[in-house]
């Protein structure tokens, strides 16, 4: 069964149809990229998947279960990790504590009033950070971290509830080119290892064509192409609306 199934979701803002009937599915362990020019509706589409926006029509199903209309925190409980285009972390906590928060929430322990956080789920948090190459930064405050490192912290937080699906909105935006490739390679590795379905949006075509198993192309709110990287690259409609307009086409 597909991890995520999206069926004809739509969203309008005022008179503008931002997303008009988009359908697709993501399989376990698959890296699916959602691309398209600015304003194509990628972020809107994304925000409807984890409940930040409610679709006007259509269904979203996670492992067969209808999750349309649930709140983000309910969607998260069902196994969806999320990273943001502009990183959102807890600035007054260390890297380790940020990950601990997600772990504590996953274990339903946030209501506890007595035991200090310092002693709870610390080892598990350290292990996750080590997997992402952040072990050395665990004790540093999130507020002073470099942007690329923050993106890694976000990924660690998103992995804390052992998700079946990862939603990554521009996971490498603001990172140096070398960092981008290594972060996405790591993401792909973890996804395959744990059977996590990954859906990501991305502007960097290098990243997209070297790491996506499959690509969806969105233009003016509708899907115009879907398929393996090579097929999408050669699709005349994609070339017309996207690659043909002078965008960086990678290799």
Q: Which of 23, 69, 88, 147 binds other proteins (CB under 8 A)?
A: 88
Q: In what order do the strands lie in the sheet with 197-201?
A: 80-83, 165-169, 197-201, 31-35, 214-219, 222-227
Q: Which of 20, 63, 109, 194 binds other proteins (CB under 8 A)?
A: 109
Helical residues (DSSP H) of the chain, grouped into ranges: 42-49, 72-77, 95-106, 122-131, 147-159, 177-194, 205-211, 229-234, 236-241
Nearer to other proteins by Cβ, of 73 and 237: the residue is 73
Q: Which of 76, 200, 209, 242 binds other proteins (CB under 8 A)?
A: 76
162 binds other proteins (CB under 8 A): no
114 binds other proteins (CB under 8 A): yes
**Tokens standing for residue 30:** 């698959």
Tell me, residue by residue from 21 to 60, as one string, x for binding to other proteins by CB under 8 A and - for no binding.
-----------------------------x----------
Residue 15 CB partners (closer than 8 Å, separation 6+): none
What does the binding site for other proteins look like in residue numbers (CB under 8 A)?
50, 71-74, 76-77, 82, 84, 88-94, 97, 100-102, 104-106, 109-118, 120, 141-144, 157, 160-161
């Amino acid at each position: 069964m597909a991890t995520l199934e999206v069926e004809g979701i739509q969203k309008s803002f005022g008179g503008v149809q931002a997303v008009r009937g988009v359908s697709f599915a993501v399989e376990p362990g698959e890296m699916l990229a959602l691309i398209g020019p600015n304003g194509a509706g990628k972020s809107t589409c994304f925000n409807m998947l984890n409940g930040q926006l409610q679709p006007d029509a259509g269904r979203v199903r996670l492992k067969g279960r209808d999750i349309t209309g649930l709140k983000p925190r309910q969607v998260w409980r069902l196994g969806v990790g999320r990273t943001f285009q502009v990183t959102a972390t807890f600035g007054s906590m260390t890297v380790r504590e940020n990950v601990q928060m997600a772990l504590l929430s996953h274990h339903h322990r946030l209501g506890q009033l007595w035991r200090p956080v310092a002693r709870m789920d610390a080892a598990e948090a350290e292990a996750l950070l080590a997997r992402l190459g952040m072990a050395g930064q665990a004790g540093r405050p999130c507020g002073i971290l470099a942007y690329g490192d923050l993106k890694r912290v976000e990924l660690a937080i998103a992995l804390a509830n052992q998700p079946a699906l990862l939603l990554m909105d521009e996971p490498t935006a603001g990172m140096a080119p070398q960092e981008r490739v290594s972060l996405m390679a790591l993401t792909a590795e973890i996804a395959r290892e744990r059977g996590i379905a990954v859906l990501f949006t991305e502007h960097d075509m290098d990243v997209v064509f070297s790491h996506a198993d499959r690509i969806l192309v969105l233009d003016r709110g509708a899907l115009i192409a879907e398929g393996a990287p090579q097929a999408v690259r050669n699709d005349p409609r994609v070339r017309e609306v996207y690659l043909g307009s002078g965008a960086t086409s990678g290799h």
